[in-house]
Structure 1
Amino acid sequence: MTKAEDVYASNHGLQWAVRIFGWCMLVALPIYFFNNYLIFVLEWPGIGHIFGDGDTTFKAWIQLGTYVAGIVFAVVLVRRTASRHLRDEAKMITRFNTYLVRAAFWAVFIVGIADTSLSFLRIEGLLPYIVGDYLNAELGRVHFRGPYVHLPLIFLSLLIALRSRTLGFQWLALLVVFAELGIVISRFIFSYEQAFMGDLVRFWYAALFLFASAYTLVEEGHVRVDVFYAGFTNKTKGFVNALGTLFMGITLCWTILFVGMGSKAAIIYSPLANFEVSQSGFGMQVKYLMAGFLAVFAVTMLIQFVSYLMEAVADYLEQPGHQDHEASLTG
C-alpha cells in the first residue's frame, strides 16, 4: 500500500460520517422547500404537529417521511460511491454550486434589463403601441409581470448557465458602475430621472453582494478576524475550518432559512408569496425577488459550506491535493 493509499484508508469512519452529514444537508434543502409548499400552499400540518401538542395526522407523518427518505438516500449514495475521496466530492459539489450562482447572475441581469425596459416604455407611454392596451395594463401589475415575464426569464437563465462557463459577477460589478453613471449623466445633463433607474442599481448591487459570497468562500476571500490562524499548519487549519463550518457557517445558513421562511409572514416567504413591490408606481417590480436573494444566499452558502467542510476534513486528515488559496491571492 502506497503512502497516499494509506492516508485515504485511515479514519475511514470519519470520512463516511462527514460525507453522509454533508449529503444530508444537501438533500434537506429541496425537502425543506417542498414541505414549505405543502404547509403554506396546500395547508398541510407540518412535522411540528408530531412532536408538539397538535393533532397528529397522516399528512404530518408523510412530511416526516420525506426527511427520513432524504437521510436514507444520503446513506445509500455514500455507500454506492465509497471509493470517492473527500476532495473529489467537494469539487463536484462546488461545480454544481457554481452553476447555481452563474444562473442567478444571468437571471438578475436579464430580468433587470427586461423590467427596466418595461418600466421605461410605460412611463413614456410607448408600451400600448407595442403590446396593446390590455397587455399594457396587465404588465403594470406585478402579479402578471412576475409569472409571465420574470419566471420565464429565470428559466431561460438556467439554460444559459448550462452553456456559459464564467460566473459573471465581475461583469455585473461593471454594469452597476454603468447604471450609476447613467443616473448621473441623465440627471445632471438631461435633467431626467425615474424611480426604475435607482431600482436597477439596488437590484444588481444586492445580487452582486449576496451571490458572490459563495465564490468568495471558495477563494478564501472572506476576512478572518484571527491573529493565530495564519501560523497554523494545514492540519490545524483544517480542524479549525471544520469546526467553524459546522457551528457557525452551516448553522447561520439554516437560521436564515428557518427565520426567513418559517411562517407566512416571514421576511423571505411573505414578499415572494405576495409579489411585494415598492411604493413607486413606475419603478421596477422586482422587490419580491430581492427578498428571494436572501434565500439564494443561504442556499448557495450552505452548499459551499458542505464542500468547504469536506475540504477541511481532508486537510485535517492530511490527504493530498490541498490548495493554498491565500498564496494565490497574494502571490
Structure 2
Amino acid sequence: MTSTDGIAADGTRGTTDGRAVAIMVRIFGWATLFCLTAFLFNDFLVYWLGWPGTATFNAGAVDVRSWLQAGLYAAVLPAAAWHVLRHRERPLRDESQRVDRINGFLIRAAFWAVLLIGLVDISLAFLRGEDLIDGLAGKTLAFELFRSEIRGAYVHMPLIALGIVIASLTRTIGVTWLALLIVVAELLIVMFRFMFSYEQLYMTDLVRFWYAALFLLGCAYTLRQDGHVRVDVFYAGFSRRTKGLVNAFGTLLLGMPFCWLILIVGTSGKTGVINSALLTYEIEGLGDGLYILYLMTVFMGLFAITMLIAFVSFLFDGTADYLGEAGGSDPAADTDSHPAGRDA
C-alpha cells in the first residue's frame, strides 16, 4: 500500500517494482555478509583445525567435513533470503543502520585489542630492556614470554578476547582516540630523546602499530561518516537519486571486489600473507621491539572485512537514495521523485 504522495509503507518512494528492487538489494547485501562469515570460518577450519576444505568436495572424495564446509556456502543465499523476507517491509535505511552497528562493534573491539596489546607489549619490552623482567617473572617465564608463539597465543589472544568483551559493554567508536594516543606517544619519544637521551626501538614500534591501526581500521568508520576526500568533478551537481545510483554501482563494481581481492589473496593457502603471519606469529625484523608484526599484517584483513561490511551499508543507503526512501544524511538534497513513484 502507498500513500497519496507515492511513499510506500516502508518509506520507499515507488511502486511494487521499487520495493522488489529494495528486497533484492537487501538479499544481496546480507548474502555478502553471510558469505564473508562462511569464508572466514572455512579459512579457520582449514588452516587452524586441519579440515580438508571445499576442494575435496569438488574432487568427489567422500569426507563429511568437506560436505559441511561446502554446505556453509550453499546456505548463504537461502539464509539471506529467509532473513530478508521475514521482515520484507523493513526500510533500507534501517538495514543500513543494523549493518553499521555490526561494523561498529568490530571496530570497537579492534581498537581495544590494539590499545591493550600495545600497552602490554611496550611494558614487557621496557622490563626486558632494563633487565627487570627476570627478577619480576623468573628466568623461565621471562624466556617463554619472549617467544613469539607464546606471546601471541597466551598474551595477545586473551587481550583480544578482553577487547571484544569491552567492546560489547561500550558504544564508543574508540578508534578515533588512536590519533590522540599517537600524538602523545610521539611527544614522549621526543621528550625522552632530547631531555633524557633515552630512546628504544619499542617506542617507535608502538607508534607504528597504533598508526597502522588508525589508518586501516579507521577507513570503514570514515567511509560511513563520508569523511574520505572525493575527487569530485560531476558528483556534487547530481540529484540525490543520481548520487545514490552512482554510490550503489561504485560499491558493487569497485569497492566490494577490491575487498574480496585482499581477502582471497591474503588467505590463499598457508603461504598467503595473512594466513602465514597468523600461523607463525611472525615477528622477524623487529629485533628487540614489540611482537606485533603479524598483527600489523592482519590489519590488512581487518581493513578488507570492515570496509566490505561498510560497503554493504553504503549499498543500502545508495539504493535508498535512488528509490527515494526517506531519511539519509541530507533528506532535502533531492526534490525529484522516483519516476515509478507516481501512483495511479
Is TM more than 0.5 here? yes
Find out whether 1:181 has 2:184 as its counterpart.
no
Partner of 1:230: 236
- Among all aligned residue pairs of Structure 1 and Structure 2, give the percentage whose two residues are the same amino acid: 48
Between the aligned partners of 1:63 and 1:185, the Cα distance in structure 2 is 54
Between the aligned partners of 1:129 and 1:49, the Cα distance in structure 2 is 52
Partner of 1:83: 89
Partner of 1:102: 108
- The structural deviation recorded for 1:314 is 0.5
Shift of the 274–201 alpha-carbon distance from structure 1 to 2, 3 Å rule, reads: same
Q: 1:271–1:288: 8 Å Cα contact kept in structure 2?
A: yes
Between the aligned partners of 2:152 and 2:244, the Cα distance in structure 1 is 44
Which one-letter code corresponds to 1:18 in the other structure? Answer: V
Q: 2:176–2:218: 8 Å Cα contact kept in structure 1?
A: no
Find out whether 1:72 has 2:72 as its counterpart.
no
Partner of 2:120: 114
Partner of 1:36: 43
Q: 2:118–2:206: 8 Å Cα contact kept in structure 1?
A: yes
Aligned to 1:215, which of 207, 214, 221?
221
Give the root-mean-square deviation of aligned CA atoms.
Answer: 1.8
More off after superposition, 109-118 vs 273-282: 273-282
Partner of 1:150: 156
Between the aligned partners of 2:286 and 2:70, the Cα distance in structure 1 is 43
Output one character per residue of 1:67-125: Cα deviation in whole Å (capped at 9) or x when no partner: 01122211111111112111101011101211111111111111100000011001111
Partner of 1:307: 313
Q: 2:179–2:214: 8 Å Cα contact kept in structure 1?
A: yes
Q: 1:239–1:316: 8 Å Cα contact kept in structure 2?
A: yes
Q: 2:286–2:293: 8 Å Cα contact kept in structure 1?
A: no
- The structural deviation recorded for 1:43 is 4.0
Between the aligned partners of 2:231 and 2:286, the Cα distance in structure 1 is 41
Count of residue correspondences? 324
Partner of 2:27: 20
Partner of 1:161: 167
Shift of the 231–115 alpha-carbon distance from structure 1 to 2, 3 Å rule, reads: same
Q: What TM-score does the superposition give when structure 1 sets the normalisation length?
A: 0.93
Between the aligned partners of 2:295 and 2:147, the Cα distance in structure 1 is 15
Aligned to 1:269, which of 271, 275, 297?
275
Aligned to 1:247, which of 249, 253, 256?
253
Partner of 2:8: 5
Partner of 1:282: 288
Q: What TM-score does the superposition give when structure 2 sets the normalisation length?
A: 0.89
Structure ranking higher on relative contact order (CA contacts 8 Å, 6+ apart): 2
Between the aligned partners of 1:126 and 1:78, the Cα distance in structure 2 is 58
Which one-letter code corresponds to 1:5 in the other structure? Answer: A
Q: 1:8–1:85: 8 Å Cα contact kept in structure 2?
A: no
Aligned to 2:325, which of 305, 319, 327?
319
Output one character per residue of 1:159-197: Cα deviation in whole Å (capped at 9) or x when no partner: 111222221233210111111111112122211111111
Output one character per residue of 1:294-321: Cα deviation in whole Å (capped at 9) or x when no partner: 1111111111100110000000001111
Which one-letter code corresponds to 2:159 in the other structure? Answer: L
| Gaps in structure 1 of 5+ consecutive residues | none
More off after superposition, 298-307 vs 126-135: 126-135
- The structural deviation recorded for 1:57 is 3.8
Which one-letter code corresponds to 2:318 in the other structure? Answer: A
Between the aligned partners of 1:279 and 1:12, the Cα distance in structure 2 is 55
